[in-house]
Chains A and B, each alone.
Chain A
Amino acid sequence: EVQLVESGGGLVQPGGSLRLSCATSGFTFNRYWMIWVRQAPGKGLEWVAKINQYGSEGYYAESMKGRVTISRDDSKNSVFLQMNSLRGEDTALYYCARDADSGHALSHWGRGTLVTVSS
């Protein structure tokens, strides 16, 4: 069974940093793109970042470009999101998701980790 479990969220002051982790199991991790998606309270989904299966290419949404870095560690079957210079508008539930086998879509999602940016 494919599983994705996010961790690392919490309360952080504006301007602070957090590193989110997503531990995965149940599939061959190094064969898939991995994606972070966030959802502010009561709002819609927003794509944040994605990384290719080799870890050589990372792409970022304009809203977070320059403040986030996505990375992966295949030895740990994990993907990470380093977030810096956090703002109130970054408050959201951050989901980790996996690329689908059969198409360009996100077939598996974690339950999310909540990031709250507030003083």
Chain B
Amino acid sequence: ESVLTQSPGTLSLSPGESATLSCRSSASLSNIYIAWYQQKPGQAPRLLIYGASNRAAGIPDRFTGSGSGTDFTLTISRLDPEDFAVYYCQQYGDSFGPGTTVEIK
């Protein structure tokens, strides 16, 4: 079982700026198994990206997933106030990363 780490733990940014979130695996993973989720306080997680780079239904194109092997990235361009939340990567059917909090600076 691979272990996922996410960095940074917290990102402090202003609306309109871009965010780059990293997810690293302890073992090489197939892209098809990497997903990203957004979670806001008091809500269930929401799927953003599947297969490392495919946006889920209804997800704005300011969310972009990329990467391969052991290094994966979620980029959020032009942060909207509704984007401030916690983001998790997941190796499908298995472990989640510890999360990155994107907070308003």
Question: Does chain A bind chain B?
Answer: yes
The answer to whether B95 touches A105 (Cβ under 8 A) is no
Contact A104/B88 with A109-B45, A111-B44 known, Cβ cut-off 8 Å: no
Residue interface bits A32-67, CB-to-B below 8 A is 1, else 0: 010101000000111100100000000100100000
For B45, give the chain A residue with the smallest CB separation: A109
What are the residues of chain B within 8 A of A11 when measuring CB–CB?
Answer: none
**A109–B45 alpha-carbon span in the complex (Å):** 7
Chain B: interface size category: 20 to 34
Contact A102/B54 with A44-B98, A111-B44 known, Cβ cut-off 8 Å: yes
**A104–B47 alpha-carbon span in the complex (Å):** 11
The answer to whether B50 touches A100 (Cβ under 8 A) is yes
B27 interface residue (CB < 8 Å to A)? no
The answer to whether B44 touches A95 (Cβ under 8 A) is yes
Contact A104/B32 with A44-B96, A45-B96, A47-B95 known, Cβ cut-off 8 Å: yes
- B70 → chain A, closest Cβ, in Å? 17
What are the residues of chain A within 8 A of B39 when measuring CB–CB?
Answer: 45
A107 interface residue (CB < 8 Å to B)? yes
5 additional A-B residue pairs with CB within 8 Å, beyond A33-B93, A37-B45, A105-B56: A44-B99, A103-B51, A103-B92, A105-B90, A112-B44
